[in-house]
């Protein structure tokens, strides 16, 4: 079993170095169960409306229950903004990011593995020199190898091209294991897949998917969320969902200056550098 990371600082460093970490006890067991109960109710309502909870291109059989558009519901809007989750997101993606999606995957007994992938490889072509996507995975049940824990390849967060995936990738997979109420942080370059559930109990995970602001979101929240929900959002949440007026300013605020200020500053530095170089050159003669 992978060991949980005891402090936020250590968690942030582990994600930077290894691409993942486990942070325990974000929810109590009772809180995790309440979220799971709400999730099943949402899944049942979706099925009643005729919405798909099984996608054949993702999962080999109907034992995987997928639930989409969780941000329509207040409980899940609160989770996606959880302070610890946001703290970890900012440590990976920076202050500016988007909430791309929030979904659930309940692996029931008999479920099998989806295809091996990294989340970043699905939204942008290689190379991937930087982390531009990440997941905060909420464990609503205990998660272990036999009940379908997410499988990952240690060190794959360092791969920058698809051709780096080795032929023996399947043999390298290891499970993320954690107790109910934990979160698993996984950066978008980590290669992974869902595990097969060979146990007699469900494994329930939520996937909060965040990206750098230049990547288009998987869900068009402007279209999906109703006016009542949009009217209830904080200005901060509006920006994270891409509902603000501006979009994809990137690092313009950090790097753009007035022309006079920009070149005056650069000129001063350039003159200082030239003077230093001339002085060093004179002393060397």
Confidence class for position 3, pLDDT limits 50, 70, 90: low
Per-residue confidence (pLDDT) for residue 259, from 0 to 100: 83
Report pLDDT digits (tens) over 51-67.
999 989 999 999 999 99
Asked whether the beta carbons of 181 and 26 are under 8 A apart, the reply is: yes
- Looking only at the bridges linking them, the beta strands covering 174-175 and 151-152 are antiparallel
Report pLDDT digits (tens) over 173-207.
999 999 999 999 999 999 999 999 999 999 999 99
Of the chain, the percentage scoring pLDDT greater than 90 comes to 82
Per-residue confidence (pLDDT) for residue 256, from 0 to 100: 80
**Model pTM?**
0.87
Asked whether the beta carbons of 136 and 85 are under 8 A apart, the reply is: yes
Report pLDDT digits (tens) over 55-99.
899 999 999 999 999 999 999 999 999 999 999 999 999 999 999
Asked whether the beta carbons of 197 and 121 are under 8 A apart, the reply is: no
Distance CA 195, CA 149 (A): 5
Q: What's 63's DSSP letter? A: T
CATH code, 8-240: 2.60.120.620
Report pLDDT digits (tens) over 246-276.
777 766 767 787 888 878 754 454 444 444 4
Please state the domain extents for the chain: 8-240, 252-283
How far CA 79 is from CA of 143, 149, 181, 249, 273, in Å, comes to 19, 21, 12, 26, 51
- The mean pLDDT of 29-41, rounded to a whole number, is 97
Per-residue confidence (pLDDT) for residue 265, from 0 to 100: 53
Distance CA 202, CA 66 (A): 13
Confidence class for position 6, pLDDT limits 50, 70, 90: low
């Amino acid at each position: 079993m992978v060991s949980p990371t005891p402090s936020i600082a250590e968690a942030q460093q582990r994600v930077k170095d290894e691409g993942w970490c486990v942070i325990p006890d974000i929810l109590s067991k009772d809180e995790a169960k309440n979220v799971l109960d709400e999730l099943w109710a949402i899944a049942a309502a979706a099925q009643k409306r005729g919405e798909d909870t099984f996608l054949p291109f993702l999962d080999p059989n109907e034992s995987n229950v997928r639930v989409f558009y969780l941000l329509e519901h207040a409980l899940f809007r609160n989770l996606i903004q959880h302070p610890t989750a946001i703290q970890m997101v900012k440590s990976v993606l920076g202050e500016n990011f988007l909430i791309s999606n929030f979904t659930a995957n309940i692996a029931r007994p008999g479920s099998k593995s989806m295809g091996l992938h990294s989340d970043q490889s699905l939204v942008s072509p290689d190379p991937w020199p930087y982390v531009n996507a990440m997941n905060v995975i909420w464990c609503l049940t205990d998660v272990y190898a036999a009940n379908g824990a997410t499988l990952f390849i240690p060190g794959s967060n360092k791969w920058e091209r698809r051709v780096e995936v080795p032929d023996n990738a399947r043999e390298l997979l290891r499970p993320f294991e954690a107790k109910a109420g934990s979160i698993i942080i996984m950066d978008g370059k980590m290669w992974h897949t869902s595990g097969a559930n060979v146990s007699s109990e469900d494994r329930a995970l939520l996937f909060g998917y965040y990206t750098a602001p230049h990547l288009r979101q998987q869900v068009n929240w402007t279209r999906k969320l109703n006016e009542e929900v949009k009217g209830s959002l904080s200005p901060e949440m509006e920006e994270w969902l891409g509902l603000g007026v501006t979009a994809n300013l990137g690092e313009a605020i950090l790097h753009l200056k007035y022309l006079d200020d920009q070149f005056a500053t650069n000129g001063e530095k350039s003159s200082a550098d030239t003077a230093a170089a001339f002085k060093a050159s004179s002393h060397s003669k």
